[in-house]
Amino acid sequence: MKVIIEVDENVTEECVVIKCQNLDERILKLQNALSAQLSNDTDLLLYKDGKEYYIPTNQLLFFETENKQVFAHTNKDIYETGYKLYELEDILSKDFMRISKSAIINLNHIFSISKNITASSIVEFKNSHKRVYVSRNYYKLLIERLDEKRKIRRGR
């Protein structure tokens, strides 16, 4: 696949054109990822009980994989996604962060982190009983990102 970017000062609104011989799953995923990234609408298409739901990303606590399927968690519900975690990393805002091979969390909903030196630490969320594990490899980066967010909120 070739990627070509043309800069034109006369363009008033960005437009992405995908030229392809066949419309396959790869192209559709690319279209969905671009649409989500460029859209002012921050809803994410999720599935539950055979229905499609458009859930605002700011309501999502975390994503996790289980049996090769990715699930999105809100305070009370669990939805299926059509994305892989690495695709979500590209689509989601900087408010989200990978914390293990199998999870991405929304930094804005963290209530507490229970550090465990010998094993994974546990993240708990505001107004929810749900929890997720942070692997040791991601713990330090998570703390750094949370510190950055605090500094930004304080205006430093």
pTM: 0.70
In 3D space, the residue among 92, 120, 119 whose CA is nearest the CA of residue 108 turns out to be 92
Residue 107 in domain = yes
pLDDT (tens digit per residue) in 70-117? 999 999 999 999 999 999 998 888 889 999 999 999 999 999 999 877
CATH of the domain at 126: 2.40.50.1020
Residue 134 in domain = yes
Q: What total number of domains does the chain contain?
A: 1
Contact 83, 36 (CB under 8 A): no
Contact 99, 89 (CB under 8 A): no
As a dihedral over the C-alpha atoms of residue 152, residue 89, residue 24, residue 17, rounded to 10 degrees, the angle is: 20
Confidence of residue 17 (pLDDT cuts 50, 70, 90): confident
Residue 67 in domain = yes
Scanning the structure block, which residue is given the tokens 């994989």? 65
Range of the domain at 83: 44-154
Distances from the Cα of 97 to the Cα of 101, 102, 138, 141, 154, angstroms: 11, 12, 9, 9, 21
State mean pLDDT over 120-133: 93
Supply 85's token pair. 């975690």
